[in-house]
Amino acid sequence: MSLIKKQFVITSTPLRISFAGGGSDFHDFFSAHEGAFVSSTIDKEIKVTVKRHSDIFNEKFRINYSSSEIKNKLEDIENDIARECIKLVGIDYPLYISTIADLPEKSGLGSSSSFCVGLLKALFELEGKKVNDKELFEASVEVEINILKKPIGIQDQLAAVYGGFNFFKILKDGSFEIKNLNQNSKNIVPNIFNNLLLIWTSIQRNSSDILYEQEKNISKNIDNIKSIKNLAYDFWDLINKDFDSKNIGELLEKGWNNKIKLASKISNNEIIRLYEKCKNLGSHGGKLSGAGGGGFLLMVVDESIKNNLINNLDNYNNIDIKYNPNGSRILLSE
């Protein structure tokens, strides 16, 4: 039975950090070899507000994000995700959309997919259309991959919808299996997060060029992507047994060394210098979040020396992150 249509909805959708397996979530790979990755949602989110816009205003659509748009025709909306989400849900009345993000866009934490998932969830709720998590995931993939042809995999949408610290296995037909670390009785998640450091490189980049090259090179990189996928299994086995931060750091570094072979612009001299500086200050290893080229560097460092490393990072900001078990959720609906 349908929900009652709403006037005003706010959703909150988490960003994510990816530990292992990224790249095996591209359709061209998992449709032939299956995919696997491990990720966790964090306490940094994107909040999306949608509201039925009054006829009193001169415009039909008012959309606020890192830019502001005032449009009268749906096809004139420049934000491609917003435009296609509105189309997919089937809304043709005046609409106000606004977003608030805890961290910058284009930073490798899955913000585009989090925005897409959060906006779809809000629009479906506004329309009184009840969708489950799988339907929400499929709708976000339809918008980003099938309609907009973005050169991305499906891990960001899965993390945004389902939330949690998860191992995802992607089968050849695109179906997936989820194992959640919350079900483990050990105090694993806090131990992992206590030894993580997220460092802002100050480089915001459009990842499309990197991802297009990575997607184009899949057939040449099958063995390398298989190795990256296998690290997801290794990582999951590791954190479900006795482990220390050194094990995790070394595994992330192994994945990072494999990943930089997938496209020419994944790393650069500034990222290499920052990574080596962290290693010299005692980090066990890490990786760049997302497609590469900039964004956030995720490093593993013993909690006991974390402050010393932070104090020696000079001009680089670090972000304190905590575990967030929630997927996309509705904060307000009226």
Contact (Cβ atoms closer than 8 angstroms) between residue 60 and residue 12: no
pLDDT tens for each residue of 95-137: 999 999 998 877 789 999 999 999 999 999 999 999 999 999 9
Pick the closest to residue 11 from 155, 117, 162 (CA basis): 117
pLDDT for 204 equals: 63
pLDDT for 1 equals: 39
pLDDT tens for each residue of 197-212: 999 887 765 556 666 6
Cβ contacts of 226 within 8 Å, gap of 6 or more: 24, 33
* Structural element, H or E, at residue 17: strand 8-20
Reported pTM: 0.93
The CA distance from 233 to 182, in Å, is: 17
What is the per-residue DSSP string for 18-51?
EEE-TTTTSHHHHHHH-EEEEEEEEEEEEEEEEE
What number of other Cβ atoms are within 10 A of residue 243's Cβ? 16
The CA distance from 227 to 254, in Å, is: 10
Strand 35-52 relative to strand 95-101: parallel, antiparallel, unpaired?
antiparallel
The CA distance from 35 to 31, in Å, is: 8
Burial code (b: 16+ CB inside 10 Å, e: under 16) for 177-186 equals eebebeeeee
Pick the closest to residue 25 from 240, 291, 299, 326 (CA basis): 291
pLDDT for 303 equals: 93
* Structural element, H or E, at residue 234: helix 222-239
pLDDT for 205 equals: 57
pLDDT for 201 equals: 83
pLDDT for 288 equals: 84
Residues of the chain with pLDDT under 50: 1-2
At 68, the amino acid letter reads: S
Pick the closest to residue 227 from 201, 193, 185, 261 (CA basis): 261
Radius of gyration for the chain, computed over Cα atoms and rounded to the nearest angstrom: 20
Residue 88 CB burial class (10 angstroms; 0-12, 13-18, ≥19): middle
